Structure 1
Amino acid sequence: MRAILRVPLAALTLLFLAVASAPLVDRPPVGDTVNSIVRLAYAIERQDIEYSWGGGHAERPGPSTGTCLGYNGKIRPCPAERTRGLDCSGLTRWVYALAYGRDVLGRGNTDDHLRRLFRVDDPRPGDLVYFGKITEKLVKTNHVGIYLGRGLMMNAPETGASVRVDRVAEKKGFAGYFRY
């Protein structure tokens, strides 16, 4: 069986404290937050955390077992209920919670998280990149990643994969960049 976490969650919290350059407040200055979000995303990627449908949506942010409710992935039977990991919104929720010092996105899915953000045309590293359909009357997203700059994003892409860096342009259905 593959190791899901090589470093305890407490160690990631200590890592965050080491990389944060300023005390946490509700909305830290953009530069401090961006650096923390991107650094935390890369630190989490190095832990080889598996994708788990619904993972990361327990009471507290971070890896958790997922759910098979609504699962339509290629791997059968659904492995989510026995896989401790993160789905895409679970990843962004955890990174933002570590960076902001509290759970700013909450337990919901990509659509729920999007409602806490505002759209930007000038994406910066640390912003979230959404995929799906977003109009004035409809919000139906299917994926989210953390924008790293240079057209790259950190994301939990699909069952059978781990948290990784992908090119934004390679994912279909780009819907926009959003900032907290």
Structure 2
Amino acid sequence: MSGKVLRLVCAAAVAQAALAPVPAAAAPRPPAAPAAAPQPPEPAQRSVSDLLTDLQRLYRQAEQATEAYNATAEQLRKQQSEVARLDTALSRARLALHDSRGAAGRLARQQYQGSTAISPYVRLLLARDPQHALDQGHVIGQLARERAETVGRLVGSEKRANDLAGEARKALDGQLALAARQKKAHDDVRARLDDVERLLASLSAEQLAAIAAFEKSGIAEAQRKFLASGALSGERPPTEEGDRAVRYAVQQLGKPYQWGTAGPASYDCSGLTSQAWGHAGTLIPRTSQEQWARLTRVPLNELRPGDLVVYFPEATHVALYLGDGMVVQAPRPGAKIKVSPVAANPVLGAVRPDPRGEPLRLYAPPKLPKGALDGPDEGYYAAPAPETSAR
């Protein structure tokens, strides 16, 4: 076979092999699809206990964010007062500086007009009446001291005005930073409540009812154990201020919880307690965490009406002790101010706003209105945000 024919035969064989179908075993395999991530079970498939745990976690996060918002708002209010105080002081200092400069100007003109080349010592030697010259020297010394004081006041006024201007600028910068932090805290609360709303929207009426019933039974059991532990022992009368705080809180029963507010139409938890004691005549911190940190702590077995019961390890919830194992509280979004068992939430401890107060000899607890104990101790419908986001 000639080389040319051989080349033609080989080319035909190669072409035939290229056109032949590839056996199944040799066909390339497509890449394997990644395994789907496990999806959380739908709310309808989850247990009531799990749903309640999630709701409690979300509400607790929202309350933590609310107390952070309240703390920032309180700091901002104080900072605004400080800025206003410094502005007033700076205005007065500038007026004083203007007066000092005017006095210094008059002094300079008087000194220029009364200038002479003869020294006071030479004038004394040449004077016909040395005693008169000495008297004049005394007057001149007095004038010199007054001039020195005028110059000193000018220097002091300038320094005071400069120092106050620096403090005012620093205070204003602090106010702007706090306003930005308050806006961030406001957005954080709103985001937490959005999480609550999304979970609630996914639940049926039957699930909500089951969760409420499950939680109610849990609170009853927690209260039974709390009382059985001996944490509360006997009843003690309040002080006069404590009585006024209790009666104020009882008058707010039925008003809605609204985060970031302190009355008179709505309250959050620490807004209620701070306003109750403010009405009684004792100013206490605005937030539950500051109330826990700064007020006098008392053992639970020494509780008396008007004391504040603080909840959760972070001190993010607070209620006012009513007596007989019950508290008045603003529970959380969706609920109204009501009377609840003291163990409705995990108790951290108690504080007393008036530790030096004398207990009343005779005490009649306030009469509770009808429905004071009705409704959930924890709400299940998120309330809207306050109108103002920054102050």
TM-score grouping bracket, smaller chain normalisation? 0.5 to 0.7
Tell me which protein shows more strand as a share of its residues. 1
The one of 291, 301, 308 aligned to 1:113 = 291
The equivalent residue for 2:252 is 44
With the length of structure 2 as denominator, give the TM-score of the two structures: 0.28
Tell me which protein shows more helix as a share of its residues. 2
> What CA RMSD, in Å, does the superposition of the two structures yield over aligned residues?
1.5
The equivalent residue for 1:148 is 322
**Whole-angstrom CA distance in 2 between matches of 1:39 and 1:141:** 24
The one of 344, 348, 358 aligned to 1:170 = 344
With the length of structure 1 as denominator, give the TM-score of the two structures: 0.59
**Whole-angstrom CA distance in 2 between matches of 1:164 and 1:96:** 17
Gaps of 5+ in 1: 1-29, 57-61, 64-83, 134-139
Structure possessing the higher relative contact order (Cα contacts under 8 Å, 6 or more residues apart):
1
Equivalent runs, 1:1-180 vs 2, <5 Å: 31-45=239-253, 48-56=254-262, 62-63=263-264, 85-100=266-281, 104-107=283-286, 109-121=287-299, 122-133=302-313, 140-171=314-345, 173-180=346-353
Residues 295 and 351 in structure 2, CA contact (< 8 A), matched pair in contact too: yes
Residues 245 and 276 in structure 2, CA contact (< 8 A), matched pair in contact too: yes
**Whole-angstrom CA distance in 2 between matches of 1:150 and 1:128:** 14
Q: How many pairs does the alignment contain?
A: 114
**Whole-angstrom CA distance in 1 between matches of 2:344 and 2:285:** 28
The equivalent residue for 2:127 is none
**Whole-angstrom CA distance in 2 between matches of 1:154 and 1:165:** 5
**Whole-angstrom CA distance in 2 between matches of 1:161 and 1:170:** 14
Secondary structure in structure 2 of the residue aligned to 1:39: helix
Residues 291 and 351 in structure 2, CA contact (< 8 A), matched pair in contact too: no
Q: Which amino acid aligns with 2:352?
A: R
**Whole-angstrom CA distance in 2 between matches of 1:170 and 1:159:** 16
**Whole-angstrom CA distance in 2 between matches of 1:169 and 1:97:** 25
Identity within the alignment, % = 36
Q: Which amino acid aligns with 2:255?
A: I
Gaps of 5+ in 2: 1-237, 354-391
**Whole-angstrom CA distance in 2 between matches of 1:178 and 1:147:** 10
**Whole-angstrom CA distance in 2 between matches of 1:106 and 1:118:** 12
1:37: Cα distance to partner? Answer: 1.4
